[in-house]
Amino acid sequence: MKLVIASNNKGKIREYKQLLEPLGYEVISQSEAGIDLNVEETGSTFAENSALKARAAYKLCGCAVLADDSGLEIDALNGEPGVYSARYGGLDSDAERTALVLDRLKNVPNDKRGANFTCTIHFIKTNGEEIAVEGKVFGKIGYEPVGENGFGYDPIFMYGDKSFAQVDPETKNSVSHRANALKKLIGALKSDN
């Protein structure tokens, strides 16, 4: 059964292929499906944004689709950057957004630097039935970017004594917010079969 991922992010597509193809899905990106989609994320939550993207893709392809939305939520910043993670502060680059976070936390003590990454996945089956799941991973914000792997806020998100940009990809992919959301989705899909 064909499954369109409402994304062209190669890393994300690869991860979804590895986890969903054993369930019988032929996983393809939206561009491979001939879909040119750029949905404006007008929702106030990750769940609303992932649903907007999934429903828009479903209307265009009429087959099973999956969309996700994710971001960083920092306790000391009342959940910011949250749904605005990719455009936080109106800044263009990961490095600028990371620097802004560190600047806003410069006087925040270590015990108040808690944070989590959140990912919501919205899955629409071929028959139109919708499944929404959420995954989180908890850590804290470091004091400077460290590590060469990862992207976005990974260099400042501390998971134990390493940043997400320092942990190996296998570890990250087994404990990340996306991995935790996918585990829930796979559980829901298996229980339907």
Show which residues are catalytic: 69
d(CA 26, CA 109): 48
d(CA 151, CA 59): 31
Tallying the residues shown for the chain, one arrives at 193
Are the C-beta atoms of 137 and 119 separated by less than 8 Å? no
Q: Which two tokens stand for residue 144?
A: 């400077």
d(CA 32, CA 13): 11
d(CA 34, CA 135): 29
Give the distance, in angstroms, between the CA of residue 53 and the centroid of all CA atoms in the same chain.
Answer: 13
Q: What is the dihedral of CA 46, 192, 2, 10, to 10 degrees?
A: 40
Q: Alpha helices of the chain — where are they, by DSSP H?
A: 10-20, 46-61, 94-104, 169-175, 177-192
